[in-house]
Structure 1
Amino acid sequence: MRLLAPLALSLAMAGCASTPATPRPGRAPFVPIPTGTAGLQGVMGRNSGQLTALLGQPVADVREGAARKLQFRSGTCVLDTYLYPRNGGEPVVTYLDARQPDGSPIDRASCVAAFSIRRGG
């Protein structure tokens, strides 16, 4: 019995021992995604007539309530423009999204520039 008490105590103490902490891999640095409108000034704030004159005929024209989406395609990218009325006026582009024809991401300003190059501007 005398041997069991120290053995039980040492086993109990061993259970309390801490294991060395394994270092966690470092987190990748935060890289902000540009959300501004740099390079998009030629499209932002334009109405549907101005967009058509600038980008050509849209391949899709979707209306939902007061909102409107015009989609334009080139060999380089697909450009979705979202038009909403401002202060009760005519709907104008307030947001746009771009992607490559296969769905891969592309910079929005690069896509707008591709349309400009295509049309000779």
Structure 2
Amino acid sequence: MKGDLKLAVAGGGALLLAGCVPQVATTPGPGGAVTPARPTYSMAGLEAVMGRNAAALTRQFGDPDLDVREGNARKLQFGSAVCVLDAYLYPPAGGGEAIVTYVDARLPDGRDVDRASCVAALGRR
């Protein structure tokens, strides 16, 4: 009985971790060779930041700890003792104000952390 419980707990943990691993797509390259494409990530839990402009992020998380501009691109960084969130903003294809198109998250020591969990934690700071 104890062995079955341990197996069930270990299996459940593996399933949870599997959801945190980015899925890597492949695309055919020259001569039919397959080359890795940019990893795809789940957007679940990121609805509060994706597509938002800098003013909306500032209202949600407070003043950014870092604001870097390069050409028409912008990176806003928000941090706490829990995690650090980098939000990358680019203008839409048709022009207009830059919006978040990608986010990255990590623990303060640099290790990766779930992006949606970081967004939720920063929203409570």
TM-score by length of 2: 0.67
Aligned to 2:73: 67
Q: In structure 2, what residue type is equivalent to 1:91?
A: A
Aligned to 1:93: 100
How many residues get paired? 88
Aligned Cα root-mean-square deviation (Å): 1.2
Equivalent AA in structure 2 for residue 78 of structure 1: V
Choose 31-40 or 62-71, whichever is displaced more: 31-40
Which residue pairs with 2:26 in the alignment? none
Structure 2 counterpart of 1:78 = 84
Give the equivalent residue in structure 2 for 1:108. 115
Matches of 2:85 and 2:48, distance apart in 1: 13
Which amino acid is 1:81 matched to?
A
Alignment of 1:10-89 (within 5 A): 32-33=21-22, 35-86=41-92, 87-89=94-96
**Unaligned 5+ runs, structure 1:** 1-30
AA aligned opposite 1:82: Y
Whole-angstrom CA distance in 2 between matches of 1:104 and 1:36? 19
Consecutive aligned runs of 4 or more in structure 1 exceeding 6 Å deviation: none
In the other structure, the counterpart of 2:12 is none
The letter for the 2-side match of 1:38 is A
Q: Kindly, what percent of the aligned residue pairs are identical?
A: 60
What CA deviation, in whole Å up to 9, does each residue of 1:69-110 have, x standing for no partner? 000001100000000000201000000000000001100000
Kindly state the Cα deviation for residue 117 of structure 1 after the two structures are TM-superposed: 2.2
Structure 2: which amino acid aligns with 1:104?
A: R
Larger Rg: 1
- Structure 2: segments with no counterpart, 5+ residues: 1-17, 24-40
